[in-house]
Amino acid sequence: MPNLATLIKQARKNPSVLKSNEFIHARIFSPDSYIMLLEMGPNCNLRCSACCDDCGPDKIGLPSQKIVDRAFADAYRCGIFRVSLTDGEPLREENKGVVKVAAKASSYFEVALVTNGTFANTPEKTLEWFDFLKQNEYNFRISKMRVSAGAMYPTTKHHFENINQAAGQVTEKDAGNFLSYLFLLGQDTKDNQRRLMDLVQSIQKSLGKKRVYTYSEKPEDRWIKVHVSKGKPVNICIGEVEPFGRAANLAHFNKNWPVKKLELEELFFEEYPVTDFSVMFDGGVHFNDNGGIFGRNNVYGNIKEEHLGVILRRMRADTLFQGFKLGCTPLLYYATKQINPNYSVTGRTGWDVLRYILRDKDLLVEVRKYLSHNGVVDTYKKFVASVDLSIGPKI
C-alpha cells in the first residue's frame, strides 16, 4: 500500500485519489501530534504584522520553568522527542530560565527554537546567547535555530552577520546543520529582494562561499541553499505572508486576497494537518491549527492537573480532531453545512473558515455530535462524493 507522502503527490496530479480507500486509510493511521510546541509568549518583545499568534509587548503571559520542565518530562514518557520553542520570543532575558530548561532537555530531545533575531544586537551579545545554549565547549545543546526574517521584521544585515558569525564559531563552522532562516515576503517587492540578498551575502561573508547558491522557485516549496565553505548549506525557506492572524489586517490583501463568500470547492486540504500540538504558557494543551490562534478555546486539558499522555489520548479520541486529521478544514465546513445548510463564511482563505468554526463553542458541540452520529469516515466519503474535485479541494 502506498504511504501517505506518495498518495499526496498523486492527489496533486489526480484529485480523485482523495476518494480512495488507500488515501483514507493512510490519513487515519498516519502519525500525528509528534511535535510539541512550547509557547514562549504571548508576551513578546515585538508586535510583528505577520504574527499568527497575535503576540506582542501588550500581551500577558510567559511560561514558567515548572510548566516547561513538566512538559518535557511528560513528553519523554509519551515517546515525543521533537520540541519547538515558538509563539513568542525565546531568546530574551524574560525567557532565559525556560530556555535553559529546554537546553538541558536536549540530551534526550531534538529541541528547535524560532527567533525573530533581535537578540543579535551586537556581536558580543549574540555570542553570549550562543554560549548560553552550549552544553560544554564541544557540544551544542539546541538542535535547530530558525530565524524569522523579511521586510516585515526589524532585523537587518547586521543582525544576520552577528548570528552567522556566532553560529560558525560555536558550531565549529558547520552552521548549516543548526541554523536556518524563514524569509517571509511582504508587500514591498524591492525591499524584500534587497533584504534577501543582504541575508545571502551575510551568510557568505560570515561562513565563507563554497560555490554559488542554489534555489527553487516551485510555488509549494521555495528555498535558497547558501553553500558555505564548511559543512552543510544554510537553508533559507521563502514563504508568503498570508492573511490570517494579525496579518489579516494588512491593506495589500484587499487586492490579492479579496474578502468574499468562501465556497467549499475553493478550500484546500492541509498536507499533514496535525503533526503538532501546543502547550500554552499556562499548561493548556490543544492541537495546533496554524500557530495555535484558533485552539485557545479548545483546550483538551492542562499538564498542571493531568499527565500529557492522558490529554493527548483524549484529544485523539475527539471526533473533531479525527475529522480535521482526515478531511481538514473542508470536511469541518461540509459537516457544518449539513447541520445548517445556510451556514457560510465570508473571508479570504480557508483559515477564516476554521477560525469561525473553532471559535463558536455552540457550533462545535453540534459538529462533534454530527461526526459521532454519522461517523467520521462515512462523512468524509459523502463529502468527497459531493464536490467537484477537478477544481478543488486539492492538496
- Which residues lie below 8 Å from residue 101, measured CB to CB, with a gap of 6+? 65, 68, 69, 72
Structure confidence at residue 184 (pLDDT): 87
**Segment 280-303, tens digit of pLDDT:** 999 999 987 655 555 677 789 999
CB-CB contact of 201 with 167 (8 Å): no
Q: How far apart are CA 348 and CA 266, in angstroms?
A: 11
Phi/psi of residue 285, nearest 5 degrees: -125, 135
Q: How far apart are CA 47 and CA 54, in angstroms?
A: 8
Structure confidence at residue 186 (pLDDT): 73
Instruction: State the CB neighbour count (10 A cutoff) for residue 119.
Output: 22
Structure confidence at residue 39 (pLDDT): 94
∠ Cα 107 110 114 (to 5°):
120
Architecture, CATH, for domain 31-257: Alpha-Beta Barrel (3.20)
From residue 84, give the alpha-carbon distance in Å to each of 88, 149, 169: 11, 18, 23
Structure confidence at residue 138 (pLDDT): 45
Structure confidence at residue 239 (pLDDT): 84
Phi/psi of residue 210, nearest 5 degrees: -85, -45
Upstream peptide bond of 2 is cis (omega within 30 degrees of 0)? no
Q: Is 198 exposed, middle or buried (0-12, 13-18, 19+ CB in 10 A)?
A: middle
The sign of the torsion formed by the CA atoms of 375, 380, 381, 383 equals: positive
Locate the domains of the chain by residue range.
Answer: 4-10+18-26+270-386, 31-257
Can you read off the three cell numbers belonging to residue 267? 478550500
pLDDT of the chain, 395 residues: tens digit per residue: 688 989 988 988 888 999 999 999 999 999 999 999 999 999 999 998 878 777 899 999 999 999 999 999 999 999 999 999 999 999 999 999 999 899 888 888 999 999 999 999 999 999 999 888 875 444 556 788 999 988 788 888 899 999 999 998 887 768 898 899 999 887 667 788 888 999 999 999 999 988 888 888 776 678 999 999 988 999 999 988 777 777 777 777 777 788 899 998 888 788 888 889 999 999 999 987 655 555 677 789 999 999 999 999 999 999 999 999 999 999 999 999 999 999 999 988 888 898 889 888 899 999 999 999 999 999 999 999 998 877 766 67
Structure confidence at residue 240 (pLDDT): 80
Structure confidence at residue 295 (pLDDT): 64
CA-based end-to-end distance of the chain: 20
Structure confidence at residue 307 (pLDDT): 98
Bridge partner residues of 37 (DSSP): 84, 278
Three-state SS sequence of 46-60: CCCCCCCCCCECCCC
Residue indicated by cell numbers 561562513 = 207
Q: Is 3 exposed, middle or buried (0-12, 13-18, 19+ CB in 10 A)?
A: exposed
